[in-house]
């Protein structure tokens, strides 16, 4: 009898699926929320909605995008960190997840410990631009003029700690020049003032300002990718313009609260990789001036660590803070 019971028990362990297997096979069984810590309209929001719609079509469960902007993404990111780690709350992450951990004295979350990276979805370089009427026609012109100190050059940013601010800080450090920051509340007003000639220069996301460059309203001095963009083949990279290895990408990804079951993270990674390979998705990203990436969770983790090391150095060197 005992031998028979042991045999039956062994059979149960062989044939019954594990809890983890059953969980991932049935996931999702209810609506999934994607928190976007930005206002609607930017590419972070676009990516969430494009990918969310494809996941919804594949799974037959609603994917709800919830915009929670504020405090340089801290509000939405903090809400995601406090959410249950059951796979039903995802977070769109980007440059601020790295930068904020060094800019703020205190955050309601730990960027490195409170999230599990799912996938690095896309990236876009920044462009270094001036008004089309500016006498500055190259990166060398900009550096020479700044070093001459005959004029006091100003640069626009979308606020302290934003990617365009930190990109310029990185550039200033390498070039050994001083420029005066003029912070704005977002990208739109800084673009307006550059076009109006009220500030001299700025970095901004290529997808956002490329139309102004192509229309002749702005002059692009350089691009922050290591290779020239096929969309702007005449614009040199900052690297080839005298600063070898200079590279900055505004990146976009998905994460989940730490402790989310690895089977669910793996399923999300696989599904989103499949979606990113679809022709209509690639076209939507390319039309927005964004390069599709994808890859493994391990690659995302390695990228996060590399980015953290770089921007910690830049932020600490400039003694930069955010409130």
Per-residue confidence in pLDDT tens, the chain, 323 aa: 334 333 433 343 334 444 456 667 789 999 999 999 998 888 999 999 999 999 999 999 999 999 999 888 999 999 999 999 999 999 999 999 999 999 999 999 999 999 999 999 999 999 999 999 999 999 999 999 999 988 999 999 988 888 999 999 999 999 999 999 999 988 889 999 999 999 999 999 998 899 999 999 999 999 999 999 988 999 999 999 999 999 999 999 999 999 999 999 999 999 999 999 999 999 999 888 899 999 999 999 999 999 999 999 999 988 998 86
CATH number for the region 32-122+250-317 comes to 3.40.190.150
Same fold, 32-122+250-317 and 125-223: yes
What are the sequence ranges of the domains in the chain?
32-122+250-317, 125-223
CA distance 96 to 66: 18
DSSP state letters, 68-96: ---GGGHHHHHHHHTS-SSSSEEEEEEHH
Contacts 24+ apart (CB under 8 A), 190-196: 190/156, 190/157, 190/158, 190/164, 191/156, 193/156, 194/129, 194/130, 194/131, 194/156, 194/218, 195/131
Q: Is the dihedral of CA 117, 208, 162, 66 positive or negative?
A: negative
CA distance 241 to 36: 36
Domain 125-223: homologous superfamily in CATH: Periplasmic binding protein-like II (3.40.190.10)
- pTM for this prediction: 0.86
pLDDT of residue 22: 60
pLDDT of residue 323: 67
pLDDT of residue 21: 60
pLDDT of residue 287: 85
């Amino acid at each position: 009898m005992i031998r028979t019971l042991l045999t039956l028990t062994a059979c149960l362990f062989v044939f019954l699926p594990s809890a983890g297997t059953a969980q991932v096979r049935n996931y999702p069984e209810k609506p999934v929320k994607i928190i976007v810590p930005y206002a609607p309209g930017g590419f972070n929001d676009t990516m969430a909605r494009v990918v969310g719609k494809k996941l919804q079509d594949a799974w037959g469960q609603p994917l709800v995008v919830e915009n929670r902007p504020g405090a340089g993404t801290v509000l939405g990111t903090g809400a995601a960190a406090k959410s249950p780690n059951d796979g039903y709350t995802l977070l769109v992450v980007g440059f601020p997840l790295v930068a904020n951990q060094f800019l703020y004295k205190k955050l309601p979350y730990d960027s490195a410990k409170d999230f599990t990276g799912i996938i690095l979805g896309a990236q876009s370089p920044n462009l270094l631009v001036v008004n089309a009427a500016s006498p500055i026609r190259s990166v060398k012109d900009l550096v020479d003029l700044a070093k001459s100190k005959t004029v006091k050059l100003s640069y626009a940013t979308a606020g302290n700690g934003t990617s365009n601010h930190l990109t310029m800080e990185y550039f200033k450090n390498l070039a050994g020049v001083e420029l005066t920051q003029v912070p704005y509340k977002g990208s739109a007003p800084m673009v307006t003032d550059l076009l109006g000639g009220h500030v001299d220069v700025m970095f901004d996301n290529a997808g956002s300002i490329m139309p102004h460059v192509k229309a002749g309203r702005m002059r692009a001095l350089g691009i922050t990718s290591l290779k020239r963009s096929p969309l702007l083949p005449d614009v040199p990279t900052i690297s080839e313009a005298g600063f070898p290895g200079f590279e900055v990408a505004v990146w976009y990804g998905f994460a989940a609260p730490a402790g989310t079951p690895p089977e669910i993270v793996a399923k999300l990674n696989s599904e989103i990789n499949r979606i990113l390979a679809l022709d209509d998705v690639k076209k939507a990203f390319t039309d927005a001036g964004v390069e599709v990436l994808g890859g493994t969770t391990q690659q995302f983790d390695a990228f996060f660590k590399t980015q953290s090391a770089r921007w910690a150095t830049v932020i600490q060197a400039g003694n930069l803070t955010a409130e």
